[in-house]
Amino acid sequence: MRRFVAGLVVSMVGLFAACSSEPAAETGALLTLYGDIQESNRGPLDPLTEPLFNSFGLEVGEGFAVSAAQLARLPQHIVRTDFPAGSEIREFRGPLLRDVIALGVPSGELAVVTALDGYQREIALGRIQAHDVILATQMNGEPLPMGGFGPAMLVWPRQSDPALADMSDDDWLWGVIAIELR
Ligand SMILES: Nc1nc2c(c(=O)[nH]1)N[C@H]1C(S)=C(S)[C@@H](COP(=O)(O)O)O[C@H]1N2
Ligand SMILES: [Mo]
């Protein structure tokens, strides 16, 4: 009995340790904000351990690493729309891009968004404020996969926001990994 109780205590401690491993997951960045931001939780780029940022020449000084858990805790929005343009309607879900960017407390007026294939777009913060563009992390109820649109994708509500009705797919970045504020 005593051995059983001891075993139970050990496994409960193990369970507690497993549960409390959340902070470690918190530090893994799904997305890195950098540039003109007033909030930071990480230091400058380490070329040896951040080869993709390094090869893209991203000038990460102080940065703000946003975890998947942090994105999931922001208010979630659903955008039903076609992507690529003209294809079937799919349901994208994730936080508003402006809420994500606000985590870093930006002071500039431009977001430079980088995807994992090196594709990059400059998007005025004014447009991000004016339109309910989301940083989607899910499509049709499933997390966005790597090799598909993952880990995250900019999705604009062009079906419901008349000002976006005719927009091209240029600013619909899939594979988003970093956003510089300028
Ligand atoms: N990461 C990433 N996102 C992207 C692109 C890209 O090359 N890389 N191309 C954009 C453009 S111009 C279009 S038309 C659509 C479809 O591009 P694709 O055929 O390269 O996916 O995705 C948009 N998002
Ligand atoms: Mo395009």
Q: Is the CB of 172 under 6 A from ligand 1?
A: yes
Q: Tell me what pLDDT residue 87 has.
A: 97
Residue ID of nearest Cα to ligand 1 atom 19? 84
d(CA 53, CA 112): 13
Residue predicted with more confidence, 19 or 124: 124
Residue 97 main-chain phi, psi, to 5 deg: -60, -35
Looking at 3.30.750.24, 2.60.40.10, 3.90.420.10, 3.40.50.300, the CATH number of the domain 2-181 comes to: 3.90.420.10
Residue ID of nearest Cα to ligand 1 atom 5? 173
Which of the four pLDDT bands, split at 50, 70 and 90, describes residue 28?
Answer: confident
Q: Where are the domains of the chain?
A: 2-181
Which of the four pLDDT bands, split at 50, 70 and 90, describes residue 13?
Answer: very low
- Burial readout 140-163 (b: 16 or more C-beta within 10 A, e: otherwise): eeeebeeeebbbbbbbbbbeebee
Q: How far is the CA of 157 from the centre of ligand 2 (A)?
A: 17
